Amino acid sequence: MALENAGSKRFSRLFTEDWLSVVVGLVLVGLVLTGILKNIP
């Protein structure tokens, strides 16, 4: 149980909004650079 808590604590620390925004931002940059996302109004 203690191990499970420690694991989930590490997981939530890793997936803070700070990191999530970096991942989403870079994925969006990748989508635009590869031309998958284009002609954005």
Q: Which residues bind another protein (CB under 8 A)?
A: 17-22, 24-26, 28-29, 32-33, 37-41
For another protein, give the closer residue by CB, 7 or 29.
29
For another protein, give the closer residue by CB, 8 or 16.
16
Mention every residue, 6+ apart, whose C-beta is less than 8 A from residue 40: 32
Please state, in angstroms and rounded to a whole number, the distance separating the CA atoms of residues 22 and 19: 5
Q: Measured from the CB of residue 35, what is the shortest distance to another protein in angstroms?
A: 8
Show the tokens assigned to 24: 């989403």
Q: Measured from the CB of residue 4, what is the shortest distance to another protein in angstroms?
A: 17
